[in-house]
Amino acid sequence: MCSISEKRLIKQTFRFELDPNRAQRVMLAKSVGASRFVYNWGLAESQREYELTGRRPRLSELKSRLVELKKTECPWFYEVSAHISQQALVDLNWAFERFFERLKSQGPKSGFPRFKKKGRHESARLYEVSLEARHIRLPMIGRVRLKETRAERGFDGRILSATIVRRADRWFAALAVEREREVVVAKPVKRASDVVGVDLGLTSAAVIHDGTETRTLEASRRLRKNLTKLRRLDRQLSRKQTGSRNREKAKLRRARLHYKVSCQRNDFLHKLSSELARTKSVIVLEDLHLKGMQRNRSLALSISDAAMGGLRRQLAYKSEWYGARLVVAGRFFPSSKTCSGCGVMKETLSLHERVFHCSACGLSLDRDENAAINLRRYGVKELGIVPLPEGLREVTPDREEGSGSTLGRRAKPASVTQEATARRARGTTRRSTPNGVLVRFRGGTNHPAEYPHPRGPRSRGQSDESASGPSG
């Protein structure tokens, strides 16, 4: 597929794992401790003044009070970089602004700022950072060795800031970089397989339909596979005395397991999102209310383990890099309740019904596959791809089951010649799969989603009466 690319100035993050010595570990721990202390101090000061005066102190006022605090009560602040404490107050101010935007119903949902607990929020932001071939220079800390070279990561650009993070007793430096990147501009839709509908689920990580075939990617379930070991580590931790060295060791063992699970999950998501963004022109997802879904106690663990929000976040920025278009269907779009063969929509469909049965046309199809077909059709209609490439003439939902009201019109083929050509061209889609991902193929070249006939697909030599399904 030929595509036009151009260089754009973008912001990107590179994360390097540090290999500090014992003295540098102490300085890194002091840095993240100072950041947490200043954030909690600023939050306490804001709450106290609001209770007395009814107003929150401004950012400049908190910075002035912090200077006095350094001189009188906390001289140990001078052992770490001044950027850390200043940036902690900036982060606190951002947290308050996001909370007030939520109250005005103008921004994303963010709760009231909370105090940071030691061991959970271990990060600090620094400036004036320089990166060498195998080392990074941090203010007040010095020259810290990296576990991988700059050339291995393909690092390039101007460093804006560095965020020091500790996780499972491992130190990382996330560098926010401004760089020129070659970005592919809007890949054209030339084939039917360039548009895919992706239905995310729990039994299957994703069901992908590209017009000719359906791929089912098995769920990794990394957390559930390690759940027995995690519970054993939790029991070991509960038996340790509070404040003892053995308790700290048990906490570290549990943190390392959580880190391993998250790395395995992110590896799977990155492979899937990169494969879709590189090879497809249009990717269609649906907007899922994940927080509401997690209120179901029976499914909360599986929903958290699937990390559906992480896949959507990765597809959002990778689509811009590789020239794909990400279409997100509305939260109330009936992708699972609509028949992909005739367009009839069911009134209700419980979660236990894993196979979709249509009483109007007799179509029997896997629930997730049916939703993926409808999502792909939604993307074609939403983008208004005209003239439609071969194989993209689809059926739109036209009425609700049990009623005669019309909800929409069926998409008509551009011409009789193009429709005949599309039928001959089915089945020529290339199959591409991310490495290490189990894939199960379903469906065939004569899939009901590719036929504009209201009663479903017809094989060669089959009449309209026989295509309507088994009779009563």
386: pLDDT strictly greater than 90: no
259-312 pLDDT, tens digit per residue, is 999 999 999 999 999 999 999 999 999 999 888 888 888 889 999 999 999 999
Given 136, 159, 185, which residue is the final one in a domain?
A: 185
> Is 122 considered catalytic here?
no
Please give the model's pTM, rounded to 2 decimal places.
Answer: 0.75
Report how far apart, in Å, the C-alpha atoms of 437 and of each of 141, 199, 206, 216, 268 are: 42, 16, 11, 10, 7
User: 137 is in which domain, residue-wise?
Assistant: 4-185
Please pick, among 45, 122, 194, 199, the residue that the annotation labels catalytic. Answer: 199
Residues 160 and 137: their CA atoms lie apart, in Å, by: 14
Is residue 410 situated within a structural domain? yes
Is residue 160 situated within a structural domain? yes
* Mean pLDDT on 430-451: 42
Residue 272: CB atoms within 10 A of its CB come to 21
Is residue 382 situated within a structural domain? yes
Q: Which residues contact 34 (CB under 8 A, 6 or more apart)?
A: 76, 77, 80, 84, 85, 88, 124
Q: Which residues contact 236 (CB under 8 A, 6 or more apart)?
A: 250, 253
299 and 175 within one domain: no
Given 161, 185, 209, which residue is the final one in a domain?
A: 185
201 and 321 within one domain: yes
73 and 215 within one domain: no
Is residue 156 situated within a structural domain? yes
Q: Are 74 and 34 in contact (CB under 8 A)?
A: no
Please pick, among 368, 394, 400, 450, the residue that the annotation labels catalytic. Answer: 368
440 and 392 within one domain: yes
171 forms bridges with which residues in the sheet?
166
Q: Are 364 and 418 in contact (CB under 8 A)?
A: no
Report how far apart, in Å, the C-alpha atoms of 66 and of each of 23, 53, 126, 376 are: 27, 20, 18, 55
What is the Cα 164 distance to its own chain's centre? Answer: 23
* Mean pLDDT on 324-345: 89
* Mean pLDDT on 141-169: 93
Q: Please tell me the total count of domains within the chain.
A: 2
70 and 208 within one domain: no
CA nearest to 340, candidates 402, 280, 424, 410: 410
Given 142, 159, 185, which residue is the final one in a domain?
A: 185
281 and 168 within one domain: no
Is residue 233 situated within a structural domain? no
161 and 200 within one domain: no
Q: Are 259 and 267 in contact (CB under 8 A)?
A: no
66-111 pLDDT, tens digit per residue, is 999 999 899 999 999 999 999 999 999 999 998 888 777 765 667 8
pLDDT band at 421 (very low <50, low <70, confident <90, very high): very low
**Does residue 409 or residue 79 have the better pLDDT?**
79
Residue 376 buriedness (CB in 10 A; 0-12 / 13-18 / 19+): buried
Residues 228 and 398: their CA atoms lie apart, in Å, by: 49
210 and 142 within one domain: no
- What is the percentage of the chain residues whose pLDDT exceeds 90? 52
450: pLDDT strictly greater than 50: no
272 and 136 within one domain: no
Q: Looking at residue 108, what is its pLDDT?
A: 61
What would the two tokens of residue 110 be?
Answer: 């963010």
Q: Looking at residue 107, what is its pLDDT?
A: 58
Element holding 423 (H helix, E strand): helix 416-425
Q: Which residues contact 112 (CB under 8 A, 6 or more apart)?
A: 99
99 and 67 within one domain: yes
> Is 194 considered catalytic here?
no
- What is the percentage of the chain residues whose pLDDT exceeds 70? 80
What would the two tokens of residue 136 be?
Answer: 């990074």
Is residue 224 situated within a structural domain? no
> Is 199 considered catalytic here?
yes
Is residue 239 situated within a structural domain? no
146 and 277 within one domain: no
129 and 196 within one domain: no
Range from 50-59, 180-189, 459-468 carrying the lowest mean pLDDT: 459-468
Is residue 247 situated within a structural domain? no
249: pLDDT strictly greater than 80: yes
Cα-Cα end-to-end distance for the chain: 49
Please pick, among 286, 305, 320, 450, the residue that the annotation labels catalytic. Answer: 286
The two beta strands, 399-400 and 344-345, are: parallel
